[in-house]
Amino acid sequence: MRNIFTHLTVVLTIANIALGQLFLEQPPINYTEGKNFDDCELRFVTSYDQHESERKLQSWVTNIEVMDLTVAYGGVRAYKGEFQHMAAIGWTRSGATIDYLCGGSLITWRFVLTASHCSVDSNNLPPDTVRLGDTDLASTDDDESAQQIPIARFIKHPQYRESRRYYDIAVVELEKNVIPNSAICVACVWREPEAPEDLIDAVGFGALGFGKELSSTLQKVQLHALDATICAERIPTNRRQMPEGLRDDQLCARSETMDTCEGDSGGPLQTLRYDLLGNIFSFIVGVVSFGTPCVEGSTGVYTRVSSYLDWIEKEVNQSLSYEVCTGVNVCDRKFNRAVAVLVEPKWTNSRVGLLWKETETDIYQCGGLLIDYQFVITSADCVTSSKGPPTYVASSSDSDRAAIEEVFVHPRFTQGQPYFDIAIIKLRKYANLDEMYPICPWTERKHGDWRQVSLLAGATFLQRQSYVTVFNITTKGFGQYYAHGKDCSVGENVADNDLNCISNSDAFIPGLCQVRNVM
């Protein structure tokens, strides 16, 4: 009994010293040196029920997928804060009633993007007010976050003509700046020449069907962009209104079951994109212009925003670049839970960030994964940059750091080439297994069955097409990534025996992650 208590005292003392520390000066009491990775799982085994974790994760993913399917088609009620940029453009009538006949998108704190044909109503009267942050115009339920602001100017595109279907884009200047809150934030503008290939959202307070009244609640529907040739076959072109037919500055979108309708004019056709931290940004791809009668299988035509970037930026007197827009940090932005899902804290603490100076705070410059008590695997490209080798690693939360003792770069690696892009970092300290947990490398030469791999491999997150060596770091949890072997879109000359191509379904901000042309 005395020996048991003595041992317990030692364990408690060590635990007390290590509390909150991710890296220890001395090896842990259960430290063993492995000669290869064959016994990795045995050395780092825990009592944690991994199968239960996988079951919970799969249940979570399944629930998310089911929820996505329920809102994929048809007009569905939007929730508060879902479309923070959505603006309702109104006409004040006698008795202080307001008719909201058009939509728009807040793209700066002073300007709303909309359609030129929303400049007047059927009585040739201009709109005079904009409402933001409200998803139910007939109720006061979410009015605490709403803002009603008078219109100062309605700026139509100078080439717009009421008799034509072209140049149907405008910006509305408000009398004062919008104040951001949990329900209101600016959207970014899509700068790419082509529409996204994934589903895109159309949002508005328009009618729920042909000949029906306008909706008082904000509705959303998911559409597919249409090929211009197919669209031209679906849209009857009036030679007087569209003498040039459908043009490149217009795009079409449709769904089998629903479309934008009367009252949605000027509203956004949008897509969502993520930054590397999982923050979600809305990007306005198109502005609702016109379409076929809104019944099942109808087609809508939208003004392509990317065709008018110069004019829009000139009118709002501000750059609308991705860098400027995504740098706005005053909003209560949504966060991609699929990127940030936490199954078990110990499993996510294998990721470390590389630092070149002890005073640095940006832990997302380059990443690595703990594969042993004292060793981190990373990209050779990261440790051979012009800055020289890194000197510290930081935990994923930057709550603790460890100095780097030595860096081992694969002898066949060449800077600027994707081959043999792997390095090992030896730390001066040891991982505290109460706070961190090494991940075992995949030891098979073939990619095998590793459909589920860690979100934290290499960089913070992975782009749609990313390269990893066969020395892949894998777990049996977290997000879904799919192995494609050598089937990479950049060419077979890149995907050699020591590379595998993987992808995920997350869509990042354009240009955020780029594959370099190395051959």
> CA–CA separation, 374 vs 402, rounded Å?
10
168 noted as active-site residue: yes
Label the pairing between strands 188-189 and 280-291.
parallel
> CA–CA separation, 386 vs 384, rounded Å?
7
> CA–CA separation, 358 vs 403, rounded Å?
9
Nearest C-alpha neighbor of 282 from the set 339, 221, 201, 338: 201
- For residue 149, the cross-strand partners are 130
Which helix or strand (DSSP H or E) is residue 173 part of? strand 170-174
Query: Which DSSP state fits 94?
Result: G
> CA–CA separation, 22 vs 394, rounded Å?
9
Query: Which residue among the candidates 116, 119, 134, 168 is catalytic per the annotation?
Result: 168
**Do 88 and 204 contact (CB within 8 A), yes or no?**
no
pLDDT in tens, 321-341: 998 998 876 787 665 543 333
Residues whose CB is less than 8 angstroms from the CB of residue 374 and which lie 6 or more positions away in sequence, other chains included: 426, 427, 429, 430, 431
> CA–CA separation, 467 vs 412, rounded Å?
17
CATH 1.10.10.10 fits 76-327, yes or no: no
- pLDDT score at 92: 97
User: What CATH number matches the domain at 1-30+347-476, 3.10.440.10, 2.40.10.10, 3.60.15.10, 3.20.20.70?
Assistant: 2.40.10.10
What is the sign, positive or negative, of the torsion defined by CA atoms of 376, 379, 381, 385? negative
- pLDDT score at 209: 53
Helix (H, G, I), strand (E, B) or coil at 441: strand
Beta-carbon neighbour count of residue 514 at 10 Å? 8
- pLDDT score at 7: 35
pTM above 0.75, yes or no: no
Do 1-30+347-476 and 76-327 come out as alike in CATH topology?
A: yes
Query: Which residue among the candidates 105, 116, 215, 265 is catalytic per the annotation?
Result: 265
DSSP 314-361: HHHTS---HHHHHT--SS---B-HHHH--S-HHHHTTEEEEESSTT--
484 noted as active-site residue: no
> CA–CA separation, 205 vs 219, rounded Å?
6
Tell me the backbone φ, ψ of residue 245, rounded to 5 degrees.
Answer: 70, -160
489 noted as active-site residue: no
**Do 430 and 26 contact (CB within 8 A), yes or no?**
yes
- pLDDT score at 497: 55
Sequence-separated contacts (24+) of 69-76 with Cβ below 8 Å: 71/220, 71/222, 72/199, 72/222, 73/221, 73/222, 73/255, 73/256, 73/257, 73/258, 74/221, 74/255, 74/257, 74/258, 75/208, 75/215, 75/219, 75/220, 75/221, 75/258, 76/219, 76/220, 76/221
Query: Which residue among the candidates 117, 136, 215, 454 is catalytic per the annotation?
Result: 117
Please list the pLDDT of the chain residue by residue as tens digits (519 residues).
333 333 333 333 333 344 458 888 888 766 666 667 777 766 765 433 343 444 444 443 333 332 222 222 346 888 888 899 999 999 999 988 999 999 999 999 999 999 999 999 999 999 999 999 999 998 888 789 999 999 999 999 999 999 999 999 999 999 999 999 989 999 999 999 999 988 899 998 876 654 457 788 898 888 999 998 898 888 877 888 999 999 999 999 988 765 566 667 999 999 999 876 678 899 999 999 988 766 666 788 999 999 999 999 999 999 999 989 988 767 876 655 433 333 344 445 688 889 998 888 777 678 888 888 899 999 898 899 888 999 999 887 777 899 999 999 999 998 877 788 899 999 999 988 777 778 777 666 544 444 333 333 333 333 323 333 333 333 322 233 334 443 444 444 444 456 665 555 567 888 765 544 333
Domain boundaries, the chain: 1-30+347-476, 76-327, 481-518
